[in-house]
Structure 1
């Protein structure tokens, strides 16, 4: 079995990936600033990657401001690739998002696209897993979309997925041979972004109204109708929003 280092291994997806890999007999190491591994500075990377066959990067920027998110993904990825080359890592797996290959003005997507390009050009065998929006994002989307005591969202189409299913896809990819390609993963249902948030808030008894507003931005940007949708060949997982909601009560 392989030694697999999971960058961002203490987060939502990373902790699940570590658990799944460990369950299947791999030596999965959760690496994050909390464990002394900092991809932005390079601190602890050499030691963490010693003897590793696979590196999984599910880390995320602490700030989504345009300059901050671009700096995070380009700097951390460059440092990680350099450490992988030095350690002889044979497979780099990165979690990214559906839609980075389409024209849009979303700064987060631009930063992820830059990260993807660094990985493709690195010379390290790789696999890129593009996920659709997580069900777990519902609360966060609502928090940044409020206006006049209501939530304004466009009805752009999404095919959301549960974080548990994302982790399954990433773990499977890490345990396999490098693809040298991109794969897309999604949940089973297509709905409007507004509908996803409305259903989530209604189930949890949140009284805020979700208004369908075609001109409303999504994290500060406007999108085409299908910017967030997967293309042909997508791997579809089975967890529905109706199944996910009662199993995932709000925290706190």
Structure 2
């Protein structure tokens, strides 16, 4: 809107200057030098006004162009920034998805009792002892007794919603029920038991917690899935 008004002012000044010049040319030879100087002064004044108006218009145009350029640059930078952030997140997801499966060579599995007597549950901890990330899938395949070769059944509700990816040194946990804690149960003492990981048949021997081991009833035993944290309450069984 300001640029349009400046252009209108320029046209008006130019028209005035042209009219005064033509009037001066058409005057007779008896016109005094003072009278002749008046149109020239007017033209000079008009020219100065035109230059001033043109300068303001130019400044306004440059300011508008600068603002537009800055807006465009900002939009581009913002888009690039958003794209970079999205790219980083996507790279992280791809890295997690491409991490190799954990094997018995990648993790160390230990057992500890949970809560107090009667010790009906133990907690398995699988710690990534390798120098690279790996995915720990499914649940631990446990056989508590040599006389009972079936794997301990898994509890489906403990399955995590996302894959468990262990960075170097990171742990995962599985809650294991070994008995109901009844005195008349068909329990047997267990000082060590075997664990295998999904997609790896290597047997990991785990020492049972406590100086005398644990009392286990294979008919009552259950195991949870591997999770990045031990979720008390969510895995109660």
> Same fold judged by TM-score > 0.5?
no
Larger Rg: 2
TM-score by length of 1: 0.24
